[in-house]
């Protein structure tokens, strides 16, 4: 006579396998219909880089601290 617990464990494993198969099937269906897109298959947007920079502010109106003494690090005093 078969053991009831063994038979019950087999049914639980079968239901678990069917649940996993259903989730994978739904995922494949959504991917095939285009509702889900995988991130590694997409192309990245192209942005043109500009090497030229123009200061958008008027130089006459920019703040200059009159109390600060600027030292140029590239000029060596002898």
pLDDT in tens, 16-67: 999 999 999 999 999 888 887 777 766 777 888 777 777 777 777 777 677 7
Enter the DSSP assignment of 73.
Answer: T
Region for 34 from its dihedrals, namely left if φ exceeds 0, alpha if ψ lies in -120 to 50, beta otherwise: left
Which pTM does this prediction carry?
0.43
C-alpha angle 61-62-68 in degrees, rounded to nearest 5:
135
Rounded CA separation 25/27 (Å): 5
Tens of pLDDT, residue by residue over 11-25, are 888 999 999 999 999
């Amino acid at each position: 006579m078969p053991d009831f617990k063994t038979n019950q464990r087999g049914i639980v494993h079968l239901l678990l396998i069917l649940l996993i198969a259903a989730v994978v099937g739904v995922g494949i269906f959504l991917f095939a219909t285009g509702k889900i897109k995988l991130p590694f298959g997409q192309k990245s947007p192209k942005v043109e880089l500009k090497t030229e920079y123009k200061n958008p502010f008027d130089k006459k109106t920019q703040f200059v601290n009159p109390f600060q003494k600027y030292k140029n690090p590239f000029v060596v005093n002898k």
